[in-house]
Structure 1
Amino acid sequence: MSSLQELVRPELRGQTPYGAPQLDVPVALNTNESSYPVPQVVVDQIARDVAEVAVSLNRYPDREFTRLRELLAGYLRRTTGEPVTAQQVWAANGSNEVLQHIVQAFGGAGRTALGFTPSYSMHPLISERNGTTWVDGLRDADPSKFDLDGDLAVDQTRRHDPELIFLCSPNNPTGTALDLDIVRRVYDATERAIVVVDEAYTEFSREGTPSAVSLLPGRDRLVVSRTMSKAFAFAGARLGYLAAATEFSDLLRLVRLPYHLSTVTQAVACAALEHTDTMLAMVDKIKTTRDDLLEGCAALGLQPVPSDANFVLVGGFDDAAATWQALLDRGVLVRDVGIPHHLRITAGTPEENDTALRALRAVLEGEYA
C-alpha cells in the first residue's frame, strides 16, 4: 500500500506549505500588515453593507463583480492618472489568487517563468505548483546588490525565453523600487512573455515613483497586479486585483472557479473603496515610521536598505537566525527571509518601532531576554 506522500504529485513530495509564523507576541512586525485598524467609519459602512446583502446569500454572487471592478478602475484612474476601464480590471481573493490565475492561464507544463531573486517567494511557489518551470534569475552580478540590473535582466530574458516574467516594484523583501525603463526593456526583449509587475506595496513608494500602470497602453502582454492588503489595511479581507489589456482580463475567466468572489467579499471591498481617502490616510503615517525605522537601524550601526515599501530590509547581523530568535524572546517578531545577515522588519506604529529598536539595541549589545 502506497503512502499518501508517494501518491501526491511528484513535484509536491517533501515540500512544505507557505506561511509566516503566526505567534501571539506583543509586537508583530513580520508580515507587512498594517499596524493600524480599519477606521470605525469604514467598519460601520461594512456592517451596513454586509447586513444589506445578507438576505440574498441564498443566491450566487455577481460573477463579474461589476461594481467592484468599476470602483477599482476608478481608484486606479484617480491615483495614476491613466484611463483604466473596468473591463481592464480583474480581482480575486488576494493578489496570490490573482497571480495564480495568471499562471494557470499562461503557464503550465512545458512552460517557463522567470523571476529575479531575492523577490516575492510566492512567485516561484505559484509557478511550480501549477506545473510551470521556475528560473531563478539574478538581480545583479554582485549578490550583495538588490537593485535590478537592466542589462542583466534583458540578457536573462533573451537567454531563457520564458512564457512568464515576474517583476516586483517595490520589491519584496528588499523594498527597492523598479525603474520603469527596465520594465520597458524587459517587455521589448521578448515577443511572447507575459510580463507581470507586482505592485503590492506601490502606495508606500516615495514621491515621484511612477506606476507601471502608465505603461499599459499598447502593451497587451503587460500586467500590473495590486492588493488591498497593505495600504488599505485589509489583509483579512483577501482582495487582490490587476490591470491589463481588456482581452487579458477576459481570458482569466477560463481559469477562475465559478463565482470565486463571494457576495460578502465584494460588499466589504466596495465599502472600503468608497472610503479611499480615509483608508489611505494611514499611508503617510506608515511612510514616516518606515523612514524612522530606517534611520534608527542605521544609528545602531546596521545596514538598512532604502525602502519604497512599508518595511525595511536590514543587514549587518552576524547571525540573522540567532538575532531573529533573540528578538522573539523579547516579544518582537520580525521576518527571516533567508538572506544571509539580513532581517526584514515591518514599519509599525511609532510605539512598536520604538520597542523594536530598543530590542535590537539590547540584542546587539548582548542583553538577551
Structure 2
Amino acid sequence: MDIESLPLRDDLVGEEPYGAPQIVVPTVLNVNENPYPPSEAVAREMAEAVVAAATTLNRYPDREATALRQDLAAYLGHGLSVDNIWVANGSNEIMLHLLTAFGGPGRTVLTFAPTYSMYPEYARNTLTKFVAYPRREDFSVDAGLVLGAIDIHEPTVILLARPNNPTGTGIPLEAIDQICRQTEAIVVVDEAYQEFSAEPSAISLLDQHPRLVVSRTMSKAFALAGGRVGYMAADPAIVDACRIVRLPYHLSAQTQAVARVALRHADELLAKVAELAAEARAFEDWARGRGYDVVPSQANFSLFGRFRDRHAVWQGLLDRGVLIRETGPDGYLRASAGTPEEMQALKDALDDMNPEKES
C-alpha cells in the first residue's frame, strides 16, 4: 500500500515531511545547534535524574510540569510565576498549541516572509489560513509594515520571529510595543535565538500587553536540541488556553527531569553563547571581504550569497564535508555558527570552490 491509496486530507496530498537533511559529515552547520555538548559532570547529573525518574515510570508524569515551569519562570525573571509559563516538546509544540487554541477554520495567522519554514505547517495542521506578508527589501520588519498587513488581513494570530530565521534580522522592542497597542490579535514573538542577540527580550513587555506571547526554546543556546524542550511566557489566560488543547501528559518525566538539570546549570550551558555569536559575526565579516552579500544577523547563524546556483554551492560544500542549509531567499545559503575549527572548514571549502556569485 502507498500513501496515495489512503483517504488523506486533501490539503496534505503531495506534501513532504519537514526536515533538514541529516547527513553524517565532518562539519555539520545546518540546523543552528550549539556545537558544544554538556560537560561530563552535567551529563552525569542528567543521567542520574533520568534514572531517578525511571523508578516512577509506572506512573504518569506531572501533566502540568509545575516544577519545570517554576524553574523556567525563575530563569526568565521579570516577576514571572508558574502561571505565566507553559512548556512543551520544543517550541514547535508551543506554536501548535497556540494555533490550535487561537487559530482554526475561518481564522488567519499572519507572518512576514522570508521566515521560519515550519510556520505554514503549523497553520496547515490546525486548518488556519496562512498569510506570509513580504518583509522590507532588507528583510527587516517594523511597526508600520505589520500594522498595514493587519489592516489588510485581519489576523487572529501574528507570528514575529525575533531574531528571524533564516535572515537573523531583529525587530525593535518599540515596534513590538506599538504593534501590541494597536491590535487585538494574539502577538507571538518567537525568540528561539534570543540568547544570542544583544537586544532586550520582549518579555519586558508582557505586563503591559495581555495578548502578547513570547516563545523560547532550550534547543539552541542551552545545547539541549535532543531534549526537545520549548516554552512560552504569557498572561495566565493564554497559558490556560494552551492547557485546554494540549494532549494529556504531553511532556515525559524524563524530559522534565533533564530540563530541570539544564536550568540548574544555566551559567555553564550558556557560557558559549557569546562565543558562538562572535563566530557568526566573524564569518560574516570574512564573507563580506570575499565579496558575498551578507544579511546582518543577530543570531547564531548567517545568511549569505547571492549565488547563481545555490544548490550547486550547497552540494559542493557537502562534497567537501561541510553541511549547511539551503533555505531562505533565492540565491542564499544559511550557515550555523560552529567551533573555530568548523568555521575554518567552511571558509576553506568556500575558498576552494570560489562559487559564482550574482552580479
Q: TM-score, normalised by structure 1?
A: 0.94
Aligned residue among 134, 137, 141 for 2:133: 137
1:128 and 1:184 mapped to 2: Cα distance? 28
Corresponding position of 1:200: 192
**Percent identity of paired positions between Structure 1 and Structure 2:** 48
Residue type matched to 1:85 in 2?
S
Provide Cα deviations, 1:76-121, integer angstroms capped at 9, x if missing partner.
Answer: 00xxxx1111110000000000100000111011111000010111
1:242 aligns with 2:239: no
1:185 deviates by 2.4
Aligned residue among 311, 333, 346 for 1:321: 311
Contact 1:94 1:240 in 2 (8 A): yes
Aligned residue among 67, 89, 92 for 1:93: 89
Provide Cα deviations, 1:35-65, integer angstroms capped at 9, x if missing partner.
Answer: 1111222101111111112111100001111
1:304 aligns with 2:294: yes
1:360 and 1:3 mapped to 2: Cα distance? 40
SS at match of 1:181: helix
Corresponding position of 1:158: 151
User: Greater shift after overlay, 279-288 or 96-105?
Assistant: 279-288
Contact 1:158 1:189 in 2 (8 A): no
Which aligned pairs between 1:1-369 and structure 2 lie closer than 5 A?
A: 4=4, 7-77=7-77, 82-140=78-136, 142=137, 145-191=138-184, 193-206=185-198, 209-364=199-354
1:2 and 1:263 mapped to 2: Cα distance? 36
Change over 3 Å in CA distance of 1:285–1:7 after alignment to 2:
same
1:218 deviates by 2.9
Residue type matched to 1:283 in 2?
V
SS at match of 1:42: helix
1:315 deviates by 2.1
Change over 3 Å in CA distance of 1:14–1:274 after alignment to 2:
same
Provide Cα deviations, 1:239-288, integer angstroms capped at 9, x if missing partner.
Answer: 00000001110111111111001110000000000111011011122112
SS at match of 2:87: strand
Residue type matched to 1:13 in 2?
V
Provide structure 2 residue ranges, at least 5 long, that are not aligned to the other structure: none
Provide structure 1 residue ranges, at least 5 long, that are not aligned to the other structure: none
Change over 3 Å in CA distance of 1:194–1:365 after alignment to 2:
closer
Provide Cα deviations, 1:204-262, integer angstroms capped at 9, x if missing partner.
Answer: 003xx111101111311110000000000000000000000011101111111110011
SS at match of 2:226: coil
Change over 3 Å in CA distance of 1:2–1:50 after alignment to 2:
closer
1:5 and 1:87 mapped to 2: Cα distance? 46
Contact 1:5 1:13 in 2 (8 A): no
User: Greater shift after overlay, 210-219 or 234-243?
Assistant: 210-219
1:179 deviates by 0.5
Contact 2:213 2:232 in 1 (8 A): yes
Contact 1:116 1:167 in 2 (8 A): yes
1:196 and 1:56 mapped to 2: Cα distance? 36
1:3 deviates by 6.8
